[in-house]
A and B are shown apart, each in its own frame.
Chain A
Amino acid sequence: MTSNEKKQLQITACKVRMGVIESTYGAKAGHPGGSLSAAEVFTYLYFKEMNIDPKNPKWEDRDRFVLSKGHTAPGLYAALANRGFFPVEDLPTLRHIDSYLQGHPNMNTVPGVDMSTGSLGQGISTAVGMAMAAKYTGKTNRVYTLLGDGEIQEGQVWEACMSASHYKLDNLCVIVDNNGLQIDGNVADVLSPYPIVDKLVAFGFEVAAVDGHDLEALEAAFEQAKTVKGKPFAIVMNTVKGKGVSFMENDAGWHGKAPNDAEYEQAMNELKAQLAELEA
């Protein structure tokens, strides 16, 4: 990507982070940590990688994205809103009674959401089904799915991985947000899923391990994915949970907690400063 393009994506990622803070603050609940760690990948997918049309969210031939780690809906919603699927101003209605922005993604209420998720471990299976359907119907669209590093403790994830390689789903790209934290603490301490890359390789994937905050590294990985034939591709992204808001970084406490007034002020000030620097 050109340096200008990279800058634009960085600016967008910063706006996605602001959307995460605005929405979780508005909701007085929600999951900022894992939304912030995935801000770059949400941005890259919706602003560069995926073949989609915000004016026609149900377009048949579109690429699909399944947020298997559905609790990080604030990150997905912020990306979708910034991409034009719905107004950014609606983000603070997250989780409000009668808002279409449900706590976890709902494909029937939120434009641009391709699958309802929230129960960890199921999203990747639905993505496998979508990729199989594309193959069967002869469509060339691609399917992407994002999982948490805690989520992959679910047995169903590995059932899905087995089926992805058995059916040679080279139209499927599985992304793991390796931010090292889940609710009860360090993923390594709760129940270690490591080594993630080796496990995915053993399950028949071609794998790229990248810095998930480095847009050029993400681009290289997504480009590599498209060259692989006959097997599924996985991107294991090393990230910082809470990335971009100093007091949220690397703290499991910010997994599922909304900022209070003072914290909101500070978080937004930090992000505004980052944005100003990028736009300078």
Chain B
Amino acid sequence: MAEMKKVATRDSYGAALAELGAEHKDLVVLDADLAGATKTAVFKKAFPDRHFDFGIAEANMVSAAAGMSTAGLVPFASSFAMFAAGRAFEQVRNSIGYPHLNVKIGATHGGISVGEDGASHQCCEDFALMRSIPGMTVICPADDVEAKAAVKAAYEMNGPVYLRFGRLAVPVFHSEDYKFQIGKGEILKDGTDVAIIANGLLTYEAIQAGEILAEAGINAMIINMATIKPLDEELVLEAAKKCGKVITCEEHSVIGGLGEAVCSLLSEKLPTPVRRIGVNDEFGHSGPAVALLKQFGLCADHIVEVAKEFCGK
């Protein structure tokens, strides 16, 4: 098989903003001294009068974005996930969430694949934080095509959205005609033995795991669940009913993210055994991204291992 094209979803974020910005004058982009890293520099270059740098002051940036939205602008406030969701949590909650304002938070450098910067910058708690805010939509796209579509969908919907992007270049597996819809999961492979529900860069790993499992005689259903909130409950229930076993995969703590959202739903509506693959309540550390992902079990091989044990094979 030919080597797949790889793109970091943070690059997709910058590119999508620049594209949307050309059509929509009300779209403005805010940064906190990280325009180069969040890739919004592309937008800044194209529309300098619509890019506002707030310096290293995320709290102020997030609240200012809220103020801008009350005047009809659609601000995309950008920073690393650690600082957008972490440092500015209470500003997101009170300035944006409580008044339910039309602000989009573009959080790059999510998860441990940040790599060499280490634990201080590897945010594995953002889904948990953002999911807990009433009315907040939380999305973690899997590849370049989906990330661009998610930025567009976030712009088009009215209300607060948290978008999580990655630093590491990951395979682009969606075709250009892929139709993304907020709140809808995507069945990438049908199956009957175990349902593997993933998001972010774990989705491609799940696809690969599905192929390896097929060779071992396990027919896995593979689902891409980019929207963590609102969760596509119908699809999760359908998958659980059909397979009787569910594995969740995310580059996030097993506490509070996709895994927990799926468990909450299933335990109330259709009790089903679940295995959660994620960061197991620990901090990350420095290292090359791919090596770290392997070390933390966030890779196809580990998904295969868990699935085999789960299916008793």
Contact = CB atoms under 8 A, between A and B. Distances in A.
Contacts of B54: 159, 163
Contacts of A155: 59
B90 to A, nearest CB: 6
A122 B63 contact: yes
Interface in B21-62: 28, 49-50, 52, 54-55, 57, 59-62
A156 interface: yes
A54 interface: no
Nearest to B56: A159
A160 interface: yes
A188 interface: no
Nearest to B94: A119
A132 interface: yes
A26 B99 CA distance: 26
Contacts of B300: none
B55 A162 contact: yes
B129 to A, nearest CB: 16
Interface in A134-185: 134, 136-137, 139, 155-156, 159-160, 162-163, 166-167
B99 A125 contact: no
A163 B60 contact: yes
A81 interface: no
B312 interface: no
A129 B59 contact: no
A162 B69 CA distance: 21
B71 interface: yes
B73 interface: yes
A139 B28 CA distance: 16
Given A107-B99, A128-B67, A133-B68, A159 B73 contact: no
Contacts of A122: 59, 63, 91, 94-95
A160 B57 CA distance: 9
**Binding site of A, secondary structure by majority: helix, strand, loop or mixed?**
helix
Nearest to A119: B94
A129 B49 contact: no
Contacts of A123: 63
B72 interface: yes
A63 to B, nearest CB: 12
A132 B94 contact: no
Contacts of B28: 136
A129 B94 contact: no
B67 A115 contact: yes
A115 B59 contact: no
Nearest to A127: B67
B184 interface: no
B189 interface: no
Chain B's interface size range is 20 to 34
A163 B68 contact: no
A108 interface: yes
A156 B55 contact: no
Contacts of A159: 54-55, 57, 59-60
A116 interface: yes
A119 B64 CA distance: 14
Interface string B226-251: 00000000000000000000000000
A256 interface: no
A160 B64 contact: yes
Contacts of B283: none
Given A122-B94, A136-B50, A114 B60 contact: no
Given A137-B72, A163-B55, A108 B99 contact: yes
Contacts of B59: 121-122, 125, 155-156, 159
B95 A125 contact: yes
A130 B91 contact: no
A62 to B, nearest CB: 11
A60 interface: yes
Contact of A130 (B52, B68, B99): B68
Interface string B92-132: 00110011100000000000000000000000000000000
A128 B71 contact: no
Contacts of A133: 67-68, 70-73
Most buried by A among B52, B63, B94: B63
A128 B60 contact: yes
B65 interface: yes
B225 interface: no
B66 interface: yes
7 contacts: A60-B72, A66-B67, A126-B64, A129-B68, A133-B68, A156-B91, A159-B60
Given A129-B67, A134-B71, A159-B60, 6 more contacts: A114-B70, A119-B94, A130-B67, A130-B71, A156-B60, A159-B59
Interface of A: 60, 64, 66, 106-108, 114-116, 118-119, 121-123, 125-134, 136-137, 139, 155-156, 159-160, 162-163, 166-167
